[in-house]
Amino acid sequence: MNKFTLGVEEEFMVIDPVTRELISHEQKIVEAAQRVHEDQVKAEMHQAVVEVGTSICQNTAEARTEVTKLRRTVATLAGELGFRIGAAGTHPFSHWQHQLITDHPRYAEIVDELQEAARSNLIFGLHVHVGFQSREMAIHIANQVRYFLPHIYALSTNSPFWEGRNTGYKSFRTKVFDKFPRTGIPDYFQSVEEYDSYIKLLVKTNCIDNAKKIWWDVRVHPFFETIEFRICDCPMLVDETMAFTALFQALCAKLYKIRQQNMKFITYNRALINENKWRAARYGIDGKLIDFGKEMEVNTRSLILELLDFVDDVVDELGSRDEINYVHKIMEHGTGADRQLQVYHKNQSLTDVVDYITSQTLKGVDV
């Protein structure tokens, strides 16, 4: 039986408490945190980013403990060094041109190849790993789960602002990331052999030097025995991070269960799923997605409720009922983007938005 273990990675903004701008922490937060958590806190390409990652967790309760602990550690150390951390898909007004790139051969190589697309990629995401013992099964589930990605993405939207502008999108983060190659919804792969052949061809033709340079919204991880979900903006609240983590895990468990019964969920092509992804980015949970089975538009909120019904029979077995139920609170109070926009419209102040983000990032973390 597959265990559906979990790993959660979050990318945080490092913020100057006076100007509220993004600021280089010169890796001081990472160096201090690694004395506590070893390699669970890492540098990212831009020096104003700190990435944290849990160890392998057996269930959502373990994952919540680690996610909370890592936020607490990074926030405490940042405070001691004179910084704040914030969790959102983009910073409301900082400009990427003013941000320093981390001095590391891998990042230098990416910047050299991708140029301004890389330098401007000042975004912050959530990555959730769900464990699979079989790569063959992982490819099958990754194919099937693509349909549901826009639903969860809509719930996670948390980047309405970019370089001081209200973009009109609930998630502008993916619009920034779209400039990279090998991003977005992946194609359907008939087998793990077809997927491996694709990777080998890209390496052979010098498109990539390793499979980590495939940055799709979901991928069978090249080195870990996991499916990695990469579509979500970094959530403001720990509760939101855990809701999305639980949803990804439950979807994997449900689709696995269907497969074990010699059935499968209908597979839709990338072009159709991309239509829903665009709608999720633009409107969040307040728009409409396409129900491809019915061939009609349906309120996104209704499809999210259908998703919750779809996974309901595996949730208690996974022990994630509380985390899944938090989705209803997101529907009630709005996504991170909705709440950022509420704060902004009150005083037309992006500084207020940054203050709101930094305060919400620590909600329930007990710093």
pLDDT, residue 164, reads 95
pLDDT digits (tens, 9 = 90+) for 282-303: 999 999 999 998 999 999 999 9
Alpha carbon separation from 263 to 193, 258, 260 (Å, rounded):
22, 5, 7
Q: What is the spatial distance between Cα 147 and Cα 288, in angstroms, rounded to a whole number?
A: 15
45 close to 102: Cβ distance less than 8 angstroms? yes
Q: What is the spatial distance between Cα 202 and Cα 137, in angstroms, rounded to a whole number?
A: 23
pLDDT, residue 281, reads 98
- Domain assignment present for residue 98? The answer is yes
5 close to 57: Cβ distance less than 8 angstroms? yes
Task: Find the Cα–Cα–Cα–Cα dihedral 145, 321, 85, 279, rounded to 10°.
Answer: 40
Radius of gyration of the chain (CA): 19
Helix (H), strand (E) at residue 296: strand 296-299
pLDDT, residue 301, reads 98
pLDDT over 60 at 76, yes or no = yes
Host domain of residue 64: 6-361
Q: What is the spatial distance between Cα 367 and Cα 317, in angstroms, rounded to a whole number?
A: 32
The whole-model pTM stands at 0.95
Share of the chain above pLDDT 90, in %: 75
Residue matched to tokens 């160096």: 31
- Domain assignment present for residue 367? The answer is no
pLDDT, residue 109, reads 80
Beta bridge partners, 336, equal none
Which carries the bigger pLDDT value, residue 78 or residue 37?
Answer: 78
pLDDT digits (tens, 9 = 90+) for 208-225: 988 888 989 999 988 888
- Measured on CA atoms in the order 32, 51, 134, 254, is the torsion positive or negative? positive
List the CATH number of the domain containing 150.
Answer: 3.30.590.20
> What rounded mean pLDDT belongs to the chain?
93
Which carries the bigger pLDDT value, residue 313 or residue 109?
Answer: 313
- Domain assignment present for residue 278? The answer is yes
pLDDT over 90 at 45, yes or no = no
- Domain assignment present for residue 1? The answer is no
Query: By CB neighbour count within 10 A (0-12 exposed, 13-18 middle, 19+ buried), where does 348 fall?
Result: exposed
The model's confidence at residue 367, banded by pLDDT at 50, 70 and 90, is low
pLDDT, residue 46, reads 76
pLDDT digits (tens, 9 = 90+) for 142-197: 999 999 999 999 999 999 999 999 999 999 999 998 888 889 999 999 999 999 99
- Domain assignment present for residue 89? The answer is yes
Task: Name residues whose C-beta falls within 8 Å of residue 311's C-beta, 6 or more positions apart in sequence.
Answer: 247, 250, 251, 253, 254, 324
What is the tally of structural domains in the chain? 1
- Domain assignment present for residue 354? The answer is yes
Q: What is the spatial distance between Cα 165 and Cα 171, in angstroms, rounded to a whole number?
A: 13
Which carries the bigger pLDDT value, residue 62 or residue 179?
Answer: 62
- Domain assignment present for residue 366? The answer is no
Q: What is the spatial distance between Cα 335 and Cα 239, in angstroms, rounded to a whole number?
A: 12
pLDDT, residue 181, reads 84
- Domain assignment present for residue 277? The answer is yes
pLDDT, residue 55, reads 95
172 close to 159: Cβ distance less than 8 angstroms? yes
pLDDT digits (tens, 9 = 90+) for 84-122: 999 999 999 988 878 777 777 777 887 877 798 777 778
pLDDT, residue 172, reads 97
